[in-house]
């Protein structure tokens, strides 16, 4: 009698929110893959659908509830996890059909819920199949990967509930982070995007505990941002070159000054993502954030002297409770002087549980819109000038996508310079690329033109 191997149960995944949540989704799917599940690209083929939610803003919660509703309508068997999972009552009130609700980075509980809803296929044939490695499941393209170095946050910003959702700072062991990075690079990653809630604080909770690295070497490596960054920049992609290493969510603590020389040496991508949020001292005080904007301007100048090509990205909140016209004018003047390369702006939005909700003098919505438009107009002008200055230069560009040949046989491609993080910054559009070009290639590009956000060029 012929024995057939049972078909594996199939899992669908909807991942919302920030890159940190995307890493959580990858880890959940990796665990389920190791348990014998396969992945479904659509609702119809899934035995159960996991929705990884975002709960940072009320608008994000609405998007999460809508995604849960869509999954229920299309599939019917839905497990909810992620940041909004901490508010299980709201989820169940809106969608009582959900099978289970778990909170952020609760991997074990999600896997248990999936096992209960769709038990994995078992048997002597299936159980003898070698399990895949942890690097097998990626939700990003093969050539770049998010590397999460810690979870949680020790700050108590008035507009934020991240510590309530994800807890206090919990740093990963430095050898575990580096081993994961090493595996990712060996598997084809050309760009590592270092993420956390507060990258600068990495290792503070463990008193920068040292671990042996490289393993078997007898040498010790501290769990500290600068030590980790230097080690990441010394990895080898296989062709004798290091990966691009891009630092996100970097609070401007004094020791951040130490990573700028690493950028000048080529060990780190010359890029810093710093969440300034505002510049006016009175607003920063109400936000419960450090009000050292003048010193920051001095440090930006110093960083640019050490590494002239450094790109600074940041985000700002307009319309925070009590923000006056003088406060807003201060922010505009600060931005004019700071000349940041990439800027995102957000209108203040109350978040359930945030301290800012109880503050007096909330800014009217129409005034928020006006201030938002003025910030974007100014920062777009700054961006356009900075990009225009790159016309004629030759820059390294990592390729994200190669198009199909047009009717004349010409092929275009889309990539990013070192000043551009995926999905949040601009792009470099290339013309007349060779058919052999592929995603993940890093090529030198001569910039021919620019606009307010993007560059246009040709391979040098």
Longest dimension (CA), the chain: 83
CB 84 within 8 A of CB 64: yes
Burial of 163 (0-12, 13-18, 19+ CB in 10 A): middle
Collapsing DSSP to helix, strand or coil, 145 comes out as: strand
157 known member of a binding site: yes
CA angle 18, 21, 22 (to 5 degrees): 90
CA angle 135, 16, 146 (to 5 degrees): 35
Q: Which three-class secondary structure string do you get for 397-443? A: EEEEEECCCCCCCCCCEEEEECCCCCCCCCCEEECCCCCCCCCCCEE
DSSP at 134: T
Distance CA 53, CA 150 (A): 19
Distance CA 191, CA 146 (A): 9
18 known member of a binding site: yes
Distance CA 253, CA 290 (A): 10
Q: Which residues does 409 contact at the CB level (< 8 Å), separation at least 6?
A: none
54 known member of a binding site: yes
**What is the Cβ-side half-sphere exposure of residue 143, based on CA atoms within 13 angstroms?**
15
Collapsing DSSP to helix, strand or coil, 372 comes out as: helix
Bridge partners, 317 (sequence order): 346
Tokens of 217: 């070497």
DSSP string, 30-92: HHHHHTT-EE-SSSTT-SEEEEEE--SSHHHHHHHHHHHHHHHHHTS-EEEEEGGGGGHHHHH
Identify which of 185, 13, 196, 256 has the alpha carbon closest to the alpha carbon of residue 114.
13
Which residues line the annotated binding site for [4Fe-4S] cluster?
A: 18, 54, 83, 153, 157, 160
Which residues line the annotated binding site?
A: 18, 54, 83, 153, 157, 160
């Amino acid at each position: 009698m012929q024995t057939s191997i049972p078909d594996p149960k199939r899992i669908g995944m909807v991942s919302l929110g920030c890159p940190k949540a995307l890493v959580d989704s990858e880890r959940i799917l990796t665990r389920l893959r190791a348990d014998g599940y396969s992945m479904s690209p659509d609702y119809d083929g899934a035995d159960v659908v996991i929705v990884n939610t975002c709960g940072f803003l009320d608008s994000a919660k609405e998007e999460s509830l809508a995604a849960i509703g869509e999954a229920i309508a299309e599939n019917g068997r839905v497990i909810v996890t992620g940041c909004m999972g901490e508010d299980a009552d709201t989820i169940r009130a809106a969608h009582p059909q959900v099978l289970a609700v778990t909170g952020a980075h609760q991997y074990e509980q999600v896997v248990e819920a999936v096992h209960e809803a769709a038990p994995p296929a078992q048997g002597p044939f299936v159980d003898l199949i070698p399990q895949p490695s942890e690097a097998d499941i990626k939700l990003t393209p093969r050539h770049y990967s998010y590397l999460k170095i810690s979870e949680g946050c020790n700050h108590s910003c008035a507009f934020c509930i991240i510590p309530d959702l994800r807890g206090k700072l919990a740093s990963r062991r430095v050898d575990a982070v580096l081993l994961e990075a090493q595996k990712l690079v060996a598997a084809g990653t050309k760009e590592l995007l270092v993420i956390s809630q507060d990258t600068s604080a990495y290792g503070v909770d463990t008193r920068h505990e040292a671990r042996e690295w490289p393993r078997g070497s007898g040498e010790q490596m501290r769990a500290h941002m600068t030590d980790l960054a230097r080690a990441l920049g010394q990895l080898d992609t296989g062709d004798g070159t290091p990966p691009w290493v891009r630092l996100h969510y970097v609070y401007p603590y004094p020791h951040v000054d130490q990573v700028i020389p690493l950028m000048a040496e080529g060990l780190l991508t010359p890029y810093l993502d710093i969440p300034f949020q505002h510049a006016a001292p009175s607003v920063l005080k109400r936000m419960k954030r450090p009000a050292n904007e003048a010193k920051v301007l001095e440090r930006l100048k110093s960083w640019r002297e050490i590494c002239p090509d450094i790109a600074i990205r940041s985000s700002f909140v307009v319309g925070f409770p009590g923000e006056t016209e003088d406060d807003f004018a201060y922010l505009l003047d600060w931005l004019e002087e700071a000349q940041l390369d990439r800027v995102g702006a957000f209108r203040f939005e109350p978040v359930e549980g945030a301290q800012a909700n109880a503050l007096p003098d909330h800014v009217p919505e129409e005034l928020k819109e006006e201030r938002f438009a003025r910030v974007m107009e100014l920062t777009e002008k700054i961006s356009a000038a900075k990009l225009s200055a790159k016309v004629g230069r030759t820059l390294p560009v990592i390729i994200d996508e190669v198009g199909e040949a047009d009717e004349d046989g010409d092929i275009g491609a889309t990539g990013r310079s070192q000043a551009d993080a995926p999905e949040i910054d601009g792009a470099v559009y290339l013309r007349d690329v060779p058919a052999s070009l592929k995603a993940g290639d890093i090529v030198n590009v001569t910039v021919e033109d620019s606009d307010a956000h993007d560059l246009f060029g040709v391979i040098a």
